[in-house]
Amino acid sequence: MQRQLIKKGAEADIFLVQWGDRKAVSKVRTPKAYRHPELDGAIRKQRTVREANFISSAKRAGVASPFVYFVDPVNSEIIMEYVDGQNVRDALTPALCREIGRYSALLHANNVMHGDLTTSNFIHDGKRLVLLDFGLAHYSERTEDAATDLRLIKEVFASAHVKSRGAFEEFTEGYRSIAGKKRTDRILENVREIEQRGRYARIT
């Protein structure tokens, strides 16, 4: 199979490739001309290794993520499983909203913040929900960082899924089933504080 560009991103390009007898995905972090070459290489290497580690961390937390076949720090490339399924962005259901909530709580229980929690980063292959793209993931114990993840998915539900009323409430139900009521309520209160700060900043 010839390498085929699937997506060109700000930080990395995604290609469809062949890995042995399997269809796979190659994620390559592209050089940035505005950075010193040596610094750029070090940053891309570090972020490539870090992302591969977060994919593994997600699995340990109980969250389905692509299987990593190969990591090439020198070329800033990760070759991973190609997940054949439907993007949740195009097939959102109440059950999937709850499952996204569960996944988010499982990550947060292990101090993993995804950093780009959107429906576009979830694939459903008919049997399982798979979370993609850990390029912005980081470790944190701060409630505000967990709230930032939830704030983003709430915005996505409100803007990209206007017709899916109650999506965030379903998400919250799934999150609460893992995190518990007390922890969930504390994070949701922080989400409201972030929203209020945003509104205040726009007014002033």
The count of domains in the chain is 2
Same domain, 22 and 57: yes
On whether both 31 and 59 belong to a single domain, the answer is yes
- Supply the CATH number for residue 66's domain: 3.30.200.20
In this structure, are 180 and 112 located in the same domain?
yes
List the one residue out of 139, 120, 138 whose CA is nearest residue 130. 120
Q: What's the confidence (pLDDT) of residue 50?
A: 97
Residue 170 and residue 77 share a domain: no
Do 93 and 129 lie in one domain? The reply is: yes
| Same-domain pairing of 63 and 141 | no
Q: Do 90 and 161 share a domain, yes or no?
A: yes
Q: What is the pLDDT of residues 76-102, one digit of tens each?
A: 999 999 999 999 999 899 999 999 999
| Residue the block writes with tokens 């518990």 | 180
Residues 186 and 129 in one domain: yes
Catalytic residue list contains 116? yes
> What confidence tier does 204 reach under pLDDT thresholds 50, 70, 90?
very low
Q: Are residues 66 and 98 in the same domain?
A: no
How far is it, in rounded angstroms, from Cα 164 to Cα 197?
26
For 115, 121, 135, 140, the CA distances from 162, given in Å and listed in that order, are 22, 18, 27, 31
Report the pLDDT averaged over residues 10-20: 94
pLDDT band at 145 (very low <50, low <70, confident <90, very high): very high
Give the structural domain span for 12: 4-81
Q: Which of 81, 103, 136 is the last residue of a domain?
A: 81
Q: What pLDDT digit, counting tens, does each position of 69-82 carry? A: 999 999 999 999 99
Q: Which of 116, 125, 133, 185 is catalytic?
A: 116
Give residue 199's pLDDT band: very low, low, confident or very high (50, 70, 90).
Answer: low
Which residue, of 15, 46, 81, is where some domain finishes? 81
* Distance in angstroms (rounded) separating the CA atoms of residues 80 and 5: 15
152 closest CA partner among 194, 111, 184? 194
pLDDT tens sequence across 17-68 = 999 999 999 999 999 989 999 999 999 999 999 999 999 999 999 999 999 9
pLDDT, one tens digit per residue, over 111-127 is 999 999 999 999 999 88
Query: Pick from 60, 81, 102: which residue ends a domain?
Result: 81
Q: Is the pTM of this model over 0.85?
A: yes
Residues 92 and 65 both lie in one domain: no
